[in-house]
């Protein structure tokens, strides 16, 4: 982890309403958020107690869906 200087945008009442951060920090936050979403989806899928199908069959079904 690294530290960075944030710049806050304030409204007429002096309340913080936004923050400016370096682009590399923003890009890291986006990547981390995407990874967390993928982890959540993986855990959700893993907890589903359905019947598993072979990878090849799943791949065929995905390809058929895409070709439509």
Q: What digits encode the pLDDT tens for the residues 44-68?
A: 888 877 777 888 988 898 998 888 7
Task: Supply the pLDDT for residue 2.
Answer: 60
In whole angstroms, give the CA distance from residue 9 to residue 33.
Answer: 23
Task: Supply the pLDDT for residue 23.
Answer: 92
| Non-local CB neighbours of 19 within 8 Å, separated by 6+ positions | 6, 7, 8, 9
In whole angstroms, give the CA distance from residue 31 to residue 23.
Answer: 12
Nearest to 18 by CA among 6, 29, 26: 6
Task: Supply the pLDDT for residue 48.
Answer: 79
Question: Please, what is the average pLDDT of the chain?
Answer: 88
Q: What digits encode the pLDDT tens for the residues 3-53?
A: 677 899 999 999 999 999 999 999 999 999 999 999 999 898 888 777 778
Domain boundaries, the chain: 7-67
Could you tell me how far CA 52 lies from the centroid of its own chain?
A: 26
Tokens 């598993």 correspond to 52
């Amino acid at each position: 982890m690294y530290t960075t200087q944030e710049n806050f945008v304030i409204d007429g009442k002096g309340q913080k309403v936004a923050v400016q951060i370096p682009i590399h920090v923003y890009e890291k936050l986006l990547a981390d958020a995407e990874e967390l979403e993928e982890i959540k989806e993986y855990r959700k899928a893993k907890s589903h107690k359905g019947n598993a199908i072979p990878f090849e069959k799943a791949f065929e079904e995905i390809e058929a869906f895409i070709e439509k």
